[in-house]
Amino acid sequence: MRKTKIKVPPKYKVPDEVRNRVRGFMNDFMKEQNITKSALAELMHEKLGRSGCRPSLVKKFSNATFQLAEVMEILDLFDCELKIVPKNEIEAPSNKD
């Protein structure tokens, strides 16, 4: 009897454009909060009990591979929330004269 090989679809690879947007979003947020990645890792360890978080966090920043739950936990630490809104509400020009 021959075993047939099951074809596994290739692993999803985040497009560079999306990766750059994620990286930019997270880096901008960190600048707004005036916190470094190391300090964030310490805060996550202290408040969320995340051990060994720093190397993992640095890797997630460089690869832009955050899970939604992780982003929400980070935002919660700064009393912020994630909200989904249509792009046209964000990118619409202001009507200031």
d(CA 27, CA 77): 16
Question: Cα–chain-centroid distance for residue 17?
Answer: 14
Q: Which two tokens stand for residue 91?
A: 């990118």
pLDDT digits (tens, 9 = 90+) for 35-50: 999 899 999 989 988 7
Q: What is the pLDDT of residues 36-88, one digit of tens each?
A: 998 999 999 899 887 766 788 888 888 888 889 989 999 999 999 989 888 88
CA nearest neighbour of 61 among 70, 52, 48: 70
Q: Is the pLDDT of residue 14 over 70?
A: yes
Domain ranges of the chain: 16-90
pTM over 0.75: no
State the average pLDDT over residues 19-36.
Answer: 93
Distances (CA, A) of 81 to 1, 68, 73: 56, 12, 9
State how far the Cα of 65 lies from the Cα of 84, in Å rounded to an integer: 19
